[in-house]
Amino acid sequence: MGNHALLSASSSHRWLNCPPSARLCEGYDDKGSNFAAEGSDAHSLCEFKLRKALGMEAKDPTEDLTWYDAEMEESASGYAAFVMELVAEAKKTCTDPVVLIEQRLDYSKYVQAGFGTGDCVLIADGTLHIVDFKYGRGVLVEAEDNPQMKLYALGALEIFDCLYDIETVSMTIYQPRRANVSTFTLSRQELLDWAETVLVPTAELAFAGDGEYHCGEWCQFCKAKADCRERARVNMELAQYEFRQPPLLTDEEVEVILGKLDSLMDWASDIKDYALQAAISGKHWSGYKLVEGRANRRYTDENAVVAAVKAAGYDPYDEPKLLGVTAMTTLLGRKQFNDILGGLITKPQGKPTLVPESDKRPAMTTILDDFKEEN
């Protein structure tokens, strides 16, 4: 199965709301991102800090972490301290609470081939605690009815239900960069009822690639979000207003449109990015071409610019800073500017941009063009 289950806990919010998205996303490469890499580093540090706090053997990963900084250090220390508080509280009524770190949790009893990894599982006196560390600063993650946490809890029950008399399940999201510590508690029976009535039937649909597509905030983490037909249909529903000028719309119509604009703009941005990346890889979109985006000229050596302008009898400063390229051109005149500073100006390559073919800028070569030339 590799590192990720088809119906993973981390993507469960999406596939529980939009079952066919699970199979749809299978056809897309996992590109990864800086956010994911940063989160992975933070989790490694959290694991080390917690193991150390519990007196377990652990290797300090700091020197191997690409994204390590003071904020990550503080966040991981805070997480370890938070879990240790839970352990201390548990010890007041239970002599031997069990703490598991980065525990593989198998919930395949309910979801075909389903498994995930729990950051921290704590069992004490009839209560199962699941703690999940989130390093993202973007989306606030709530513990209430969080399906990822409930899947972890089901996996933990599979291991411990027969060993401990668990009655209560407590699930906590620890998200330091959003100052968010969110806890949700439910009974063991409520969790099992959810598994039977909601999880099992929906997971069966998702595994088979069946069910209906549904759009919502879960789309933002979907690999197929740019070319999903259902998302396009929902967003294009705004076309019913025939793009009339705002004064011709009723107040009710404006209110409907306002409620949809953010998701429409997100969708439009995803489409543009998808088309651009495909064009860079060699795809030709009829009526469009790839050109070099605009870029500003820059000085290559500011000290040399100051010396050259002063030697020509001009003051190069707009107190307290050096004049920008445009202002310097105005000061010296275009010809003198080129004579004095021509060798000290660079214009970086602009970012590739997808534009209509009517645009006057020349088309750029793509990866595919380069490949054809080499062969």
Q: Which domain covers residue 341, as residue numbers?
A: 298-346
Q: Does residue 227 carry a pLDDT above 80? A: no
Instruction: State the Cα–Cα distance between residues 279 and 289, nearest whole angstrom.
Output: 8
Higher pLDDT, 261 or 49: 49
Q: Clarify whether residues 123 and 258 are in a common domain.
A: no
CATH number of 87's domain: 3.90.320
Across the range 21-42, mean pLDDT stands at 85
Q: Does any domain span residue 220?
A: no
Instruction: State the Cα–Cα distance between residues 135 and 142, nearest whole angstrom.
Output: 13
Has this prediction a pTM greater than 0.85? no
Higher pLDDT, 201 or 232: 201
Query: Which among 344, 305, 343 has a CA at the least distance from the CA of 321?
Result: 305
pLDDT of residue 125: 81
The pLDDT mean for the chain works out to 87
Q: Does residue 2 carry a pLDDT above 50? A: no
Across the range 166-189, mean pLDDT stands at 94
Tell me: the pLDDT tens digits for 146-163? 999 999 999 999 998 888
Confidence of residue 80 (pLDDT cuts 50, 70, 90): very high
- Main-chain phi, psi angles of 300, to 5 degrees: -85, -30
Q: Clarify whether residues 109 and 202 are in a common domain.
A: yes
338 contact partners, CB below 8 Å, separation of at least 6: none
Q: Clarify whether residues 194 and 86 are in a common domain.
A: yes
Q: Clarify whether residues 39 and 63 are in a common domain.
A: yes
Q: How many domains does the chain have?
A: 4
Q: Clarify whether residues 154 and 49 are in a common domain.
A: yes
Q: Clarify whether residues 236 and 181 are in a common domain.
A: no
> Which span out of 4-8, 34-38, 49-53, 328-332 was modeled with the highest average pLDDT?
49-53
pLDDT of residue 244: 64
**Which DSSP string do the residues of 95-128 spell out, in sequence order?**
SS-EEEEEEEEE-TTTSTT-EEEEEEEEEETTEE
